[in-house]
Amino acid sequence: MPPVTVIEHLLLHQTELPMATGRFTRLLNELILSAKIISREVNKAGLVDILGFTGEVNVQGEAVLKLDEFANRVLIHRLERAGVLCAMASEENADLIEIPSAFPAGDYILIFDPLDGSSNVEGNVSIGTIFSIHRRKSPEGKNVILDDVLQIGANQVAAGYFVYGSSTMMVYTAGRGAHGFTLDPSVGEFLLSHPDIKIPELGKIYSVNESYWNYWDEPTRKTVSYFKSPNNERGQPYNSRYIGSLVADFHRNLLTGGIFMYPADSREPKKIRGKLRLMYEAAPLAMIIEAAGGMATDGKMRILDIEPQELHQRVPLYIGSKKDVQKVIEFYQTTS
Ligand code: AHM
Ligand code: MG
């Protein structure tokens, strides 16, 4: 079988995907090119001390940006010119990013976390870019309003991520199946490597930052105790794996089966609703996990049904293998 690129794969499935118009293809192409540029910089990160300190001026007299700022700028620069978007929202920007009137606009909205887990770069740990694509609700031609962007995750047209790891990979879904592509640096293309990913119904890994145990609610503690117990459905304790880099933790669990949790905790008021953001992190990963046969909840509600009230809303997140996530929901239902 000759290798299949992301765009070839998209076109092959075009009859199934009414949104796979030229504009959608263009949007994915720009995302892919941005990710290749980010990947190149991420791979050079270890050389930063040699080439010039971040935040200072390098030997060529250029300011060296922090990697997350760099990734953010690349995505905004490329996508605002693509002629397919009417607005963007980035985890790095407080407000909605409007498309300058000098550039043509389209009716898609792109929401992204440019470089999640970037605090891990020094440890040479995998990090990632997460994206979510919506269509505007209001008619084209008018100014986009916040309401166009604050849509439930179930309205996403597509979602995906790039993981910059031992290989750079892209996983995306446009609703029917989640597909993985690996960047072949020798040809500069993402090639289909993981078609129609299905997460095992019952996982063998739980991923959570257990140092917050004392700040968790009762259902979360019961859930984690259950995963550690030899008397669970698996009949033996789950393996504990936590990198602390969402895309990397999610990606591993997607392929091997398991659950990732970032619960609410009571440490300080701002963390009560969890750390991760609904629109930039939870909703896109929830769309992927559902396309792969898994589930995502905040403990009480399906992530994809939560109505965002603000752009940077945080949400508790339990995401992964169906039976493992169902267990969380069960503990929330039975624990007062
Ligand atoms: P960031 O958006 O500041 O990079 O933080 C998000 C990261 C996730 O990648 C990861 O899952 C989580 O923070 C880890 O948080 P903690 O250190 O509290 O376990
Ligand atoms: Mg993030």
Which residue's CA is the closest to the ligand 1 atom numbered 7? 117
What is the rounded distance in angstroms from the CA atom of residue 98 to the CA atom of residue 105?
Answer: 10
Among the listed ranges 12-21, 61-70, 104-113, 301-310, which one has the minimum average pLDDT value? 12-21
The domain covering 6-197 belongs, at the CATH homologous superfamily level, to: Fructose-1,6-Bisphosphatase, subunit A, domain 1 (3.30.540.10)
- One-letter amino acid of 136: R
Structure tokens at 24: 């959608």
- pLDDT band at 269; cut points 50, 70, 90: low
What is the rounded distance in angstroms from the CA atom of residue 179 to the CA atom of residue 193?
Answer: 8
- 218-244: per-residue pLDDT in tens? 999 999 999 999 999 999 999 999 999
Structure tokens at 49: 């001390």
What is the rounded distance in angstroms from the CA atom of residue 129 to the CA atom of residue 116?
Answer: 6
- 116-140: per-residue pLDDT in tens? 998 887 788 899 999 999 999 888 7
User: What's the mean pLDDT in 6-31?
Assistant: 80
What's the CA-to-centroid distance between 210 and ligand 2, angstroms? Answer: 19
Among the listed ranges 6-20, 56-70, 241-255, 317-331, which one has the minimum average pLDDT value? 56-70
Would the pLDDT of 268 be above 80? no
Structure tokens at 227: 């995963």
What is the rounded distance in angstroms from the CA atom of residue 44 to the CA atom of residue 75?
Answer: 18
- 64-85: per-residue pLDDT in tens? 568 889 999 999 999 999 999 9
Which residue's CA is the closest to the ligand 1 atom numbered 12? 244
Q: Relative to the CA of 245, which ligand 1 atom is closest?
A: 9
- Residue with the bigger pLDDT between 239 and 106: it is 239
Among all bound ligands, the one having the nearest atom to the CA of 251 is 1
Q: Which fold is adopted by the domain 205-334?
A: D-Maltodextrin-Binding Protein; domain 2 (3.40.190)
Give the pLDDT of residue 15: 62
- One-letter amino acid of 214: N
- 283-296: per-residue pLDDT in tens? 999 999 999 999 99
Contact 92, 114 (CB under 8 A): yes
User: What's the mean pLDDT in 313-317?
Assistant: 95
User: What's the mean pLDDT in 178-201?
Assistant: 96
What is the rounded distance in angstroms from the CA atom of residue 336 to the CA atom of residue 330?
Answer: 12
Every domain of the chain and the residues it spans: 6-197, 205-334
Among all bound ligands, the one having the nearest atom to the CA of 271 is 1
What's the CA-to-centroid distance between 119 and ligand 1, angstroms? Answer: 8
What is the rounded distance in angstroms from the CA atom of residue 159 to the CA atom of residue 211?
Answer: 31
- Cα pseudo-dihedral 43, 45, 51, 56, rounded to 10: 140
Give the pLDDT of residue 287: 98
pTM value > 0.85: yes
Name the nearest CA neighbour of 99 among 117, 79, 122: 79
Structure tokens at 63: 């300011």
What is the rounded distance in angstroms from the CA atom of residue 312 to the CA atom of residue 323?
Answer: 29
Q: Relative to the CA of 91, which ligand 1 atom is closest?
A: 2
What's the CA-to-centroid distance between 244 and ligand 1, angstroms? Answer: 6
**302 secondary structure, DSSP code:** B
Environment of ion ligand 2 (residues, CB < 5 A): 113, 116
- One-letter amino acid of 222: K
What is the rounded distance in angstroms from the CA atom of residue 77 to the CA atom of residue 80?
Answer: 6
- One-letter amino acid of 142: K
Give the pLDDT of residue 139: 81
- Give the largest Cα separation in the chain, rounded: 62
- Across the chain, what does the average pLDDT equal? 90
- pLDDT band at 303; cut points 50, 70, 90: very high
User: Sheet of 317-320: strands edge to edge?
Assistant: 239-240, 205-207, 259-262, 317-320, 295-297
Contact 333, 310 (CB under 8 A): no
Q: Relative to the CA of 247, which ligand 1 atom is closest?
A: 9
What's the CA-to-centroid distance between 4 and ligand 2, angstroms? Answer: 30
Among all bound ligands, the one having the nearest atom to the CA of 208 is 1
Percentage above 90 pLDDT, the chain: 72
- 14-23: per-residue pLDDT in tens? 665 555 568 8
Residues with CB under 6 A from ligand 1: 116-119, 209, 244-246, 262, 275
Give the pLDDT of residue 59: 47
Q: Relative to the CA of 116, which ligand 1 atom is closest?
A: 4
Would the pLDDT of 107 be above 50? yes
- pLDDT band at 53; cut points 50, 70, 90: very low
Which residue's CA is the closest to the ligand 1 atom numbered 2? 116
For the chain, state the CA radius of gyration.
Answer: 20
